[in-house]
Amino acid sequence: MNNLAFLFPGQGSQAVGMGKELAINYSIAKQTFDEADEALGYKISQLCFEGPEDKLKLTEITQPAILTASIAAYRVLKEKGIAPSFVAGHSLGEYSAHVAAGTLEFADAVRAVRNRGKYMQSAVPVGVGAMAAILGMAIDELQTVCAEAAGGDGEVVAPANINSPDQIVISGSAAAVQRASDLAKTKGAKRAIMLQVSAPFHCSLMQPAQDALKEDLRSLRFNNSVFPVVKNIDGQPTTDGNEAREALIRQVTGAVQWVKSMQMLMNSGVTTFVEVGPGKVLCGLMRQIDRTKTCVNVEDEASLQKTVAGLAQ
């Protein structure tokens, strides 16, 4: 279907029990969890299915867990003969998109995102960085606010996830993020919400993580993809393996251009989006970006049946 795109969720979409129903009902989904267990050397399947939640929330576990649950759901859809014309993923989800598109081997991707999680976690000591969601402020206004709020002493704050016209996440040094949040409210933002995150993702403080990940990704084989993958870093599609690798490296310190990515897909004729993996975060963002588009999700048996029936019409 040339009007269909698959979207893969990022960190924050994890939930205890994710993927369990699909693994019980579909051998291809169970096989996916088995592959991940083997690639990592521990039972990530058990953490996905049973928890505990506090362990599933650890960045180095969350990232391979969401990737595995997403690919399990993707493979079930593929078995049912449903294929997209484009794929995109939010931050971590860009790796799931590349596995789906054949750019990366699944086992390589699982290990890569485990290390990505470790590197991101250790790049900045806990409490030094922060992230906040700013609601109801345009990107250009928010960029001005961030420039004003960044302090001396190398304190940084910048837009990190441009999620929708109404929701932009900022990231950086804790004090600078707090200043930017306060300033945004005085300049007309509807709300500023400090996020419960373990590190300030997608900003220049992540440079040590980017440098470490670069070594890992350059040692992996990247194929040209079977369908275009939209890059977070610039919202543009690629099928080139080397370009895909460089985009994943730059993504660690770069902002997630989600609005640009979704607009590119709509301009390319996509009218139906399927969020593949746990949660409905990306469908929620799609409603803020363009309410006229259809966004459905696949994370368990009920949502799978509903989506498959809907796409058949």
Q: Residues 13, 45, 70, 91: which is the catalytic one? A: 91
The gap from C-alpha 249 to its chain's centroid, in whole angstroms, comes to 14
Which 3 state secondary structure label does DSSP give 62?
Answer: helix
Other Cβ atoms within 10 Å of 188 Cβ, number:
11
Q: What is the C-alpha to C-alpha distance for residues 68 and 35, in angstroms, rounded to an integer?
A: 9
Which 3 state secondary structure label does DSSP give 182?
Answer: helix
Q: What is the C-alpha to C-alpha distance for residues 257 and 242, in angstroms, rounded to an integer?
A: 20
Active site annotation includes 91: yes
- The structure tokens listed for 223 are 């194929």
Q: Residues 164, 171, 202, 261: which is the catalytic one? A: 202
Active site annotation includes 98: no
Q: What is the 3-state secondary structure (H, E, C) of 200-240?
A: CCCCHHHHHHHHHHHHHHHCCCCCCCCCCEECCCCCCEECC
- The structure tokens listed for 53 are 């939640």
Active-site residues: which are they? 91, 202
